[in-house]
Structure 1
Amino acid sequence: MRTHKIAAIGADGIGPEVIAAGLEVLTALANKDGGFRLEVEHFPWSSAYYLEHGHYIPEGGLERLKQFDAIFFGAVGSQQVPDHVSLWGLRLPIAQGFDQYANVRPARVLPGVKSPLTNGEDIDWVIIRENSEGEYSGNGGRAHRGLPIEVGTEVAVFTRAGVERIHRFAFELARKRPAKHLTLVTKSNAQRFGMVMWDEIFYEVARDYPDVRTDRELVDAVTTRMVLKPKSLDVLVATNLHADILSDLAAALSGSLGIAPTANLNPERQFPSMFEPIHGSAFDITGKGVANPIATFWTASMMLEHLGETAAAQTLMRAVEAVTASKVHTPDLGGKANTADVTRAVCDYIGNAAPQA
């Protein structure tokens, strides 16, 4: 039997709630499949842990995580801790420390879910976000604090190696999709150094992929195209900051942030990859039991795919689509179901599904 070691980090807000739901569904899949099992270890790292101990990740924590096949992550962010402290204390040290440079965010309207767009059924995108450089590289600083001449700099750092590898990853993914279409998103009309380099390297890499159709769009223009002409897009590749924003728009256009998944991949598999729903901590509904677990289930399906459990991943997505189609919806989708209702419905579908090949 195949064993996969999973590090579960619920962290903050609704994170522990949806990760618990995700693990329940994954257990149901493992029991149904019979060919694999999950060995899960829970890590208490969170903002509450930070307030008690003075750090999110204890000494040697990343070394411990290296022993796992994948990381199943909830959400980080607390009203008691500044956002830049929590992000740089937990999520970014894992993503950057494990060189998870390819952030993959699919977006489509699931059956039974209503998009705010009249042509929402045309949404079928994958946004590839460069996950290690740009404005999130941590380069910059502040000087003359509190004085009228105070200065704050945020330096976007791009390297040829970093840009080339994310473009190559995006081309490889686009090549596997039916449309074989990749859109480069930058802001090279105004940002004439790093963004122009992004453009140049993109078209250098494109020569190795003559079967992939390409086009280029400025980041502001692509937002209008996402709304007005969603069918004209397939795979998009963009910088850390730009793709972070665009993927939230993509999730909203797909019906809710509560259904959107994320994979933070180290494609070379030198380190474990991390899988997380896109929605964040959602303080307003924390503890109410109404968080939408669909984003976590879709994320879990991506994790299973990464682990080589393709049949189980497909079964999980069929279960998710059957449940959304049957209108078992949480309040963010206009329904009255709670987290447990959706989780139970997905587990029931898995239990009744035909045996996997």
Structure 2
Amino acid sequence: MYKLAVIPGDGVGKEVMEEALKVIRVINDRESITLDYEIFDWGSEYYLKYGRMMPDNGQAILQEYDAILFGAIGDSRVPDEVTIWEFIMPIRKNFKQYVNLRPVKLLKGIESPLRLSEEIDFVIFRENTEGEYSDVGGLMFQGDQRELAVQNTIMTRQGIAQLTEYVMKYAKAHHYTKVTNATKSNAITHVMGFWDQVVEEIFANEVLAYEKIYIDALAAYFVERPERFQVVMASNLFGDILSDLGSAIVGGLGMAPSGNINPEKEFPSMFEPVHGSAPDIAGKGIANPLAQIWSVALMLDHLGRKDLHDHVVFAIEQLLLENKTLTPDIGGNATTKDVGNAFIKKLYR
């Protein structure tokens, strides 16, 4: 039995999570696995009521679970720096979720805006606990003509090396032959130069093909020839931007799952859709639940059930190919609940 902490969060997170829980309940009924889950109402509503995003012992509570299934965070009534730095970042950093995994796969039934005939199927790995998203810096002389801001990027040998080693093992295990390193060491000479140095030390004696591409050119290549990529690794900021661009070429954020992974399983890993709380459509019942459902598949893979991961992704593809029950973001007019119910029928047809 696996214990799951479920945090629907804000906005459409609550809506798409309802459909993901349907999937979990059906899997519990049909498969030789038990996913016992508990729902926590933490997030912006909790903050407005109690002045904090989660209880003081929230992380201690979460640590007792095997995995976290998360919806979305963000509310116009709560500053972004609160929702990010008092919720998402502490979980990622304190639970050593140093790998952010985002598949970029054009499923059958989805037409890319790039109108390419080639297959798009690669994985982006983002360093998830340091780099550009380090809360180190500050302001001086506020309100004065001398006012200035400093934000420091922190790169450590351990942080770079542990991501690189994970990427290398993943590539071999999944029969990939090439890894692309996203960098900008020609201009950001110190931290990105150090990033390249550590990455290349680890790949020096590897049979995997390795290439280094500057981030500006890499963004262009994602649009011009995305079929050339297999595994892409990047720093926290670069990986964040590239993975959103990647999702845009394979159906949009509603088709973009992710995993925040602690490979050693010393702490629970967290799985979530990339799309965020989407306040512009929250409450309308039209959010695409497939990214949240695909995140369930990533969680199942992490828990050792790749067979169930593949089964869920296959069912998503069958739903898309049928082209009858889709949300507006991918060309349909169905509701979130309609898509969730139709998916269940495809999962165990």
One fold, TM greater than 0.5?
A: yes
Q: Distance in 2 between matches of 1:264 and 1:120?
A: 31
2-side partners of 1:308 and 1:27: how far apart?
18
**Shift in Å, 1:161:** 0.7
For 2:312, the equivalent position in structure 1 comes to 316
Partner of 2:162: 165
Q: How does 1:8-47 map to 2 (within 5 A)?
A: 8-33=6-31, 35-47=32-44
Alpha-carbon distance change, 25 to 121 in structure 1, aligned in 2, over 3 angstroms: farther
Q: Secondary structure at the match of 2:132?
A: strand
Alignment of structure 1 residues 1-357 onto 2, 5 Å: 3-33=1-31, 35-119=32-116, 121-210=118-207, 212-327=208-323, 328-352=325-349
Equivalent residues, number: 348
SS of equivalent residue, structure 1 residue 20 = helix
Following TM superposition, where does structure 1 have runs of at least 4 consecutive aligned residues deviating by more than 4 angstroms? none
Of residues 116-125 and 259-268 in structure 1, the stretch that sits farther from structure 2 once superposed is 116-125
C-alpha deviation, 1:45, in angstroms: 0.7
Kept in 1: contact 2:27–2:33 (CA 8 A): no
Q: Distance in 1 between matches of 2:347 and 2:314?
A: 9
Amino acid at match of 2:140: A
CA contact (8 A) 1:7 1:68 kept: yes
Cα distance, 1:272 vs structure 2: 0.3
Contact (CA 8 Å) 1:109, 1:121: kept in 2 or not?
no
| Structure 1 unmatched runs, 5+ | 353-357
Provide the C-alpha distance between the structure 1 equivalents of 2:119 and 2:108, rounded to a whole number of angstroms.
13
Q: Which runs of 5+ in 2 are unaligned?
A: none
Q: Is the 8 A contact 1:120 1:230 kept in 2?
A: no
**TM-score under structure 1 length normalisation:** 0.95
* TM superposition shift of 1:145: 1.5
Structure-2 change in CA distance of 1:156 and 1:267 (3 Å): same
**Aligned-partner Cα distance in 2 for 1:121–1:107:** 14
Shift of 1:120: 6.3
Residue identity in the other structure for 2:288: N
Deviations 1:113-149 (A, max 9, x none): 1111121643211000000111112111112222221
What's 1:355 paired with? none
